A and B are shown apart, each in its own frame.
Chain A
């Protein structure tokens, strides 16, 4: 069966350091992968999308990599700030027509 796995343990990191989150998947051949941020009591907010033919994508302090051989995406927050504290979700859609499936998310806590 199809599975999306994210580290369930919270990632505690000091302000200014780089946070790295992992998203592994099995039995998928996704056309693209998305990352969302979710704050407590709020709905997820879209951050970045990376396509299967892209190795890396950047947006401000965020960087996403996509390795279709390893079936893995890494999400980096550089120069992390306390305001980056949230849960980060990865999501896969096999193609533009398929349903978007989410991982369980990884909580990031950035301390000053």
Chain B
């Protein structure tokens, strides 16, 4: 069973379109994250949710809107896609804050290409 799964794995779309990436974790974790990895392989945090509540919101364009329907799911919707949004987006989860080692469990990534 995949611990953190995200779909789709690949996404190719035109500029200006709207797209969504879905993420689910079956680890029972309370905290989920979206990270963006650009062409230079630098992983940058975008958002974090703890028990459906937004706790980290980095300086990300408001075209990006996360949504957590329950603590096992965290989706990312992107409006009006731009060329610079092309990257690999990783979903991750961790134990509740303050508990355990805080290690992150990552999904396999969703590679977004904007043409």
Residue positions of A touching B, CB distance < 8 A: 32, 34, 36, 41-46, 49, 87, 89, 91, 93, 96-97, 99-102, 104-105
B75 to chain A, nearest CB (A): 17
Across the interface, B103 reaches (CB within 8 A) one of A41, A46, A99, A101, namely A46
What secondary structure prevails in chain A residues at the interface with B?
strand
Across the interface, B97 reaches (CB within 8 A) one of A89, A91, A97, namely A97
Docked Cα-Cα span, A104 to B76, in Å, equals 23
Interface check B90, CB cutoff 8 A: yes
What secondary structure prevails in chain B residues at the interface with A?
loop
In chain A, what residue has the closest Cβ to B97? Answer: A97
Q: Interface digits, B35-52 against A, CB 8 Å rule (1 contact, 0 not)?
A: 100001111110010000
Is B109 touching A42 in the complex (CB atoms < 8 A)?
yes
Q: Which residues of B contact A32 (CB under 8 A)?
A: 101-102
A-B contact list, 18 entries, CB within 8 Å: A32-B102, A34-B101, A34-B102, A41-B108, A42-B109, A43-B109, A44-B43, A44-B90, A44-B106, A45-B106, A46-B104, A49-B101, A49-B102, A93-B102, A96-B99, A99-B45, A99-B48, A100-B102
